[in-house]
Amino acid sequence: MDYLSKLENQSIYILREAFNKFENLAMLWSIGKDSTVLLWLARKAFFGHVPFPLVHVDTTYKIQSMIEYRDRLVKEWNLKLIVGKNEAVLKSGVTYPNGKATRVECCGTLKKDGLKQVLDQHHFTGVIVGVRRDEEPTRAKERYFSPRDKTWNGTSRTSPPSYGTNSKLILKKGRTFASIHCSTGLN
């Protein structure tokens, strides 16, 4: 088996484990290359069907053809899509292009805060995200199943690194928040 096949099989295993362990699971889909690869893997893991909703945080700054692509795949592949927007920030105009916020502030309010709103509204207990450990050093320490606190902030900085799947994951009552990372690149 070649290296890419091993990565694919490992990701499929992790997706199935996550679906088995979490009651209310979702997957982030930015429509970017990493999350679209993850979507393809999810379809492969569940024989063409994705048994959990996809969450897309719409900043309203995506190219229109990307949104059309998203909507076309949702229809063709019979996907459940939840679109979140931080409407309050968009309405107030405190965004980057008009100079009322820096790029970083704008990204934080439109993406991070918008995502937290969706997660809180739908009471997800697990969220699948595609990460490339080779692109961002802070991601290299993330566990496949990374516990989060009630505000969805990570606890990986104080946890030792995990080099394999946590296949004996035990979810305790009241501690249901987690982020499931599937490597779509090199480990």
Q: Each residue of 20-48: pLDDT tens digit?
A: 888 899 999 999 888 898 999 999 999 99
The pLDDT of residue 91 is: 81
Question: In whole angstroms, what separates CA 132 from the centre of its chain?
Answer: 12
User: What would the mean pLDDT of 155-170 be, rounded to a whole number?
Assistant: 46
For 119-141, what is the mean pLDDT?
A: 75
Q: Is the pLDDT of residue 103 over 80?
A: no
pTM of the predicted model, to two decimals? Answer: 0.77
* % pLDDT > 70, the chain: 70
SS3 20: helix
Backbone angles phi, psi at 90, to 5 degrees: -60, -40
Q: What is the mean pLDDT of the chain?
A: 77
The pLDDT value given to residue 164: 45
Q: pLDDT by residue (tens digit) across 104-119?
A: 877 778 888 888 889 8
Which residue in 129, 120, 171 sits closest to 150, CA to CA? Answer: 120
The secondary element (H helix, E strand) that includes residue 17 is helix 3-21
How many angstroms separate the CA atoms of 96 and 124, rounded? 30
